[in-house]
Amino acid sequence: MNNKLQGKDLINIGIFTAIYFIVIFAAASIGFIPIFIPLISVIVPLVGGIPMMLFFSKIKKFGMLTICGVLLGIIMLLTGMGWWCIPTGLIFGLISDFMMKACDYKNAKREVLIHGVFSMWVIGAFIPIVVTRDAYYQSLLPGYGQEYADTLMAYMPDWILPVLLIAAFVSGLVGGLIGRKIFKKHFERAGIV
Q: What is the pLDDT of residues 6-56, one digit of tens each?
A: 889 999 999 999 999 999 998 888 877 878 888 999 999 999 999 999 899
pTM, whole model, 2 decimals? 0.89
Above 70 in pLDDT, residue 1? no
Which one-letter amino acid corresponds to residue 90? Answer: L
Where does residue 138 rank: exposed (0-12), middle (13-18), buried (19+ CB within 10 A)?
A: exposed
Give the pLDDT of residue 45. 95
Above 60 in pLDDT, residue 193? no
How large is the average pLDDT for residues 123-140? 90
Rounded to 5°, the CA angle 187-188-191 comes to 90
Instruction: Give CA separation, 175 vs 92, 107, 149, 153, in Å.
Output: 17, 16, 30, 28
Distance CA 119, CA 175 (A): 9
pLDDT, tens digit, for every residue of 60-83? Answer: 899 999 999 999 999 999 988 889
